[in-house]
Structure 1
Amino acid sequence: MSDTEPTTSDASTSTLARQLEDLDRVVYRFRQNPMSVIGLGIILAFILIAIFAPWIAPYPSDAGYAGEPAVHYDQKFEPPSAEHLFGTDQAGRDVFSRVLFGTQLSLKIGAVVLAAAVSIGVPIGLAAGYFGGRIGMVLMRITDVFLSVPPLVLALSVSVALEPSLTNAMLAIGAVWWPWYARLTYGEVLSVKKETYVEASRGVGASSVRTIFRDILPNVLAPITVKMSLDMGYAILVASALGFLGLGAQPPTPEWGTMVSQGRDYLPAQWWYSTFPGLAIFLIVLGFNFLGDGLRDMFDVEVQ
């Protein structure tokens, strides 16, 4: 072997160096947007709160997870103080503790909704974009039917048809969210499947399933990831809207939208009852929007 001939080890080192350089470039793009860093900080804070809520909450029994929540009618509607940071509600329950536990529910709702939407929408978009023809036309026409109805209106219709509950609210939102992922994936596949490496995969006799999941899917994940980060906040917002209308989580579940709905009856005197859950909704949606914008700049993709 010639002394100047590159070895396998040298090639692996060069590949690793390029990957690290690409990673540094991606991270640099993300850090260039201060709002994205703020968004990441907000989301990490909410995740930590959700994980450690049972230990952070000063009155965990007030959340209602261990059967019926404790009631303290002698402490009802106490304003924010050192003992009750966010005050108390009409049953004397600590609003701060309930908001903390509501973080777990909100993140769970967003995760379940997006998992359902991606599980349905992405395979439909992959199949429609790759196979095209009659299959693609039928799948996209079905998708267009769902896209023609505003998501909140369709989610309300499904929720009304089902018994109001947290589970049914997640099912309703997930059932109306998948068309956006089908449409996005379809458009990305149409552009990717013309690439040389996809044609080469077909040329060597690779199966359609292998080509789709090994050659196409990895190259369309960036816009899907960005959309998921943006949609997480919207899914939480829609779930809160259903809870506010009485079609989502039911009392005494500490869900933010339900708490805002209950607290509106006592405005403006007991302002803290609705204000703090509302602020939690605002912050988590804002955080995911900032994070999504940062990921969009980082991956340099456009998402509708």
Structure 2
Amino acid sequence: MSDTSSTREESLRESLDRRLDRLDRIVYRFRQNPASVLGLGIILFLVLVALFAPVIAPYPQDAGYGGDPAVHFDQQLEPPSAEHVFGTDNSGRDIFSRVVFGTRLSLRIGAAVLGFAIGVGVPVGLIAGYMGGPVSVGLMRLADVFLAVPPLVIALTVSVALEPSLQNVMIALAVVWWPWYARLVYGEVISVKEEAFVEASRGIGASTPRIVLREILPNVLAPITVKFSLDMGYAIIIGAGLGFLGLGAQPPTPEWGTMISQGRAFLPGSWWYSTFPGLAIFLAVLGFNFLGDGLRDMFDTEVN
């Protein structure tokens, strides 16, 4: 009995050592990619800005923190200065403070949309890939219906059908995104479910939920993680695009796309009005793309 227990403990230690060694290799490869490290640094910076926005913003009331956004008509369209580093808008509000609080909204849009997409798309892909037959055909044809139409067209249609608001932008983008995750997971499950370790689980009588959740799902997390990191940038861009078209967050909400839309009426004289929100979008998308590319290269190297 003790020999059996000792053997089991030794096996668990070996398994843990292998996992730690694999994690060390992954972290090393990640650190060897400067773009990945830069992307992670940008994302951590944006997260900290979002978390501590009330502390970082010099004029949080101009972004609506604690109530409705303040208005200062005596400070309209002032250029960047020591008092207002990004200048002011047509209502005299500090653009830097509004860009800082806009970070919260943009990250919230991306996280909420992709959280819903993963929550719906991953289970659909798992079920369709593992079950096969009519269930697979039905679920994948449903996904194909959404994939047949350009994502922005669907998002615009849903946004127009609903009242323009930040919440409805999230709904519109979530409707667009879940089929991509369903397709991704479906393809990964098809390639994994015939592997020897899955067959071994079936052979010892493991239940279908256990096989799917304990054996298959962990092996498809890598591509899901990579796609999530890349999609965050796309979600921020499309969310800002809908805001720019007036179908997203409504003024005076400090949302980057809405701010760019308002500022275009004052170009080129008051260039700072649209430029700084645009640079914030550029920085966010750059960070997530760098991180996603690094994760993709890292996991591809690990698999190969």
User: TM-score band, normalised by the shorter chain?
Assistant: over 0.9
Q: What are the superposed Cα offsets for residues 120-173 of structure 1, whole Å, 9 maximum, x if unpaired?
A: 111111111001111101111111111011111110000000000000000000
Paired position in structure 2 for 1:125: 125
Q: Secondary structure at the match of 1:70?
A: coil
**CA distance in 2 between partners of 1:286 and 1:77 (Å):** 29
Does the 8 Å contact 2:71/2:93 carry over to 1? yes
Paired position in structure 1 for 2:218: 218
Q: What are the superposed Cα offsets for residues 267-299 of structure 1, whole Å, 9 maximum, x if unpaired?
A: 000000000000000010010000001111121
**CA distance in 2 between partners of 1:207 and 1:246 (Å):** 50
Amino acid in structure 1 at the alignment position of 2:116: A
Q: TM-score, normalised by structure 2?
A: 0.95
Paired position in structure 1 for 2:22: 22
Amino acid in structure 2 at the alignment position of 1:267: L
Q: What are the superposed Cα offsets for residues 32-76 of structure 1, whole Å, 9 maximum, x if unpaired?
A: 211111101100100000011101100000001332211110011
CA apart distance, 1:198? 1.2
**CA distance in 1 between partners of 2:260 and 2:112 (Å):** 22
Q: Secondary structure at the match of 2:252?
A: coil
Paired position in structure 2 for 1:234: 234
Q: Secondary structure at the match of 1:88?
A: coil
CA apart distance, 1:8? 5.4
- Structure 1 runs (4+) deviating above 6 angstroms are none
**CA distance in 1 between partners of 2:190 and 2:57 (Å):** 50
Paired position in structure 2 for 1:285: 285
Paired position in structure 2 for 1:250: 250
CA apart distance, 1:202? 1.7
Does the 8 Å contact 2:62/2:98 carry over to 1? yes
**CA distance in 2 between partners of 1:116 and 1:142 (Å):** 17
Structure 2: tracts of 5 or more residues without a match: none
CA apart distance, 1:9? 5.3
% same residue: 71
Amino acid in structure 1 at the alignment position of 2:98: R
Give the root-mean-square deviation of aligned CA atoms: 1.9
Does the 8 Å contact 1:122/1:182 carry over to 2? yes
Paired position in structure 1 for 2:110: 110
Amino acid in structure 1 at the alignment position of 2:222: A
Query: Which has the higher mean CA deviation after the structures are superposed, 270-279 or 63-72?
Result: 63-72
Q: Secondary structure at the match of 1:220?
A: helix
Does the 8 Å contact 2:79/2:86 carry over to 1? yes
Q: TM-score, normalised by structure 1?
A: 0.95
In the TM superposition, 1:1-304 aligns within 5 A as 10-300=10-300
Q: What are the superposed Cα offsets for residues 175-213 of structure 1, whole Å, 9 maximum, x if unpaired?
A: 110010000000000011001121122222222122111
Q: What are the superposed Cα offsets for residues 103-127 of structure 1, whole Å, 9 maximum, x if unpaired?
A: 0001100000001101111111111
Structure 1: tracts of 5 or more residues without a match: none
Does the 8 Å contact 1:223/1:301 carry over to 2? no
Does the 8 Å contact 1:222/1:301 carry over to 2? no
**CA distance in 2 between partners of 1:65 and 1:72 (Å):** 16
**CA distance in 2 between partners of 1:12 and 1:169 (Å):** 47
Distance 1:301 1:208, change over 3 A: farther
Number of matched pairs: 301
**CA distance in 2 between partners of 1:217 and 1:15 (Å):** 19
Does the 8 Å contact 1:260/1:275 carry over to 2? yes
Distance 1:140 1:161, change over 3 A: same
**CA distance in 2 between partners of 1:12 and 1:191 (Å):** 27
Does the 8 Å contact 2:78/2:92 carry over to 1? yes
Amino acid in structure 2 at the alignment position of 1:291: L
Amino acid in structure 1 at the alignment position of 2:129: G
**CA distance in 2 between partners of 1:300 and 1:258 (Å):** 38
Does the 8 Å contact 1:105/1:255 carry over to 2? yes
CA apart distance, 1:301? 7.4
Query: Which has the higher mean CA deviation after the structures are superposed, 23-32 or 56-65?
Result: 23-32
